[in-house]
Amino acid sequence: MRTARWWARNNLEAMTDVVYDSKGQYKQIESGLLDGEQIIAVYDAVGAGTGFIGLTTRRVIIQDKSFVGKRVAMTSIPYSKISSVSVVSNKSWAGQYFSSGTIAITVGTHIYEVEFRGSEKTHHVHNVILHYAS
């Protein structure tokens, strides 16, 4: 398995291996693929609400666990519907970055935020979305 840092340094067109944090999350994304669609990456998220984010050659898939009870939503966002993507990072009082990062994806008037462990994943997600949304 390749790391997010490797993918950030290499051409997105040449991807053949999939980066993922959890085999179970990967399998969930794999089970819902459309004809000809391929998985690029599946990253576990931290914080309240979001379980993980999946990136495919056609869309972003976000698992949202913030519903009342044990309900879970799998939200599919075609790249063509994304109007902007942002990397949101916090700095400590000393100016050093924390070991997590957040991606903000704007679709219409709604903003989806997903927080990751490590800024490499955040930047990889950002770069993949920009590549396919442009």
Domain ranges of the chain: 4-133
4-133 fold: PH-domain like (2.30.29)
Could you count the other beta carbons within 10 Å of the beta carbon of residue 43?
Answer: 24
pTM (two decimals): 0.80
The amino acid at residue 32 is G
SS (H, E, C) 67-121: CCCCCCEEEEEEHHHEEEEEEECCECCCCCECCEEEEEEEECCEEEEEEEECHHH
Which class for 124: exposed (0-12), middle (13-18), buried (19 or more C-beta within 10 A)? buried
pLDDT in tens, 7-30: 445 545 444 589 999 999 999 999
pLDDT in tens, 49-102: 668 999 999 999 998 776 667 778 889 999 999 999 998 876 654 555 556 789
Q: Looking at residues 27-54, what average pLDDT do you find?
A: 91
111 versus 119: the higher-pLDDT residue is: 111
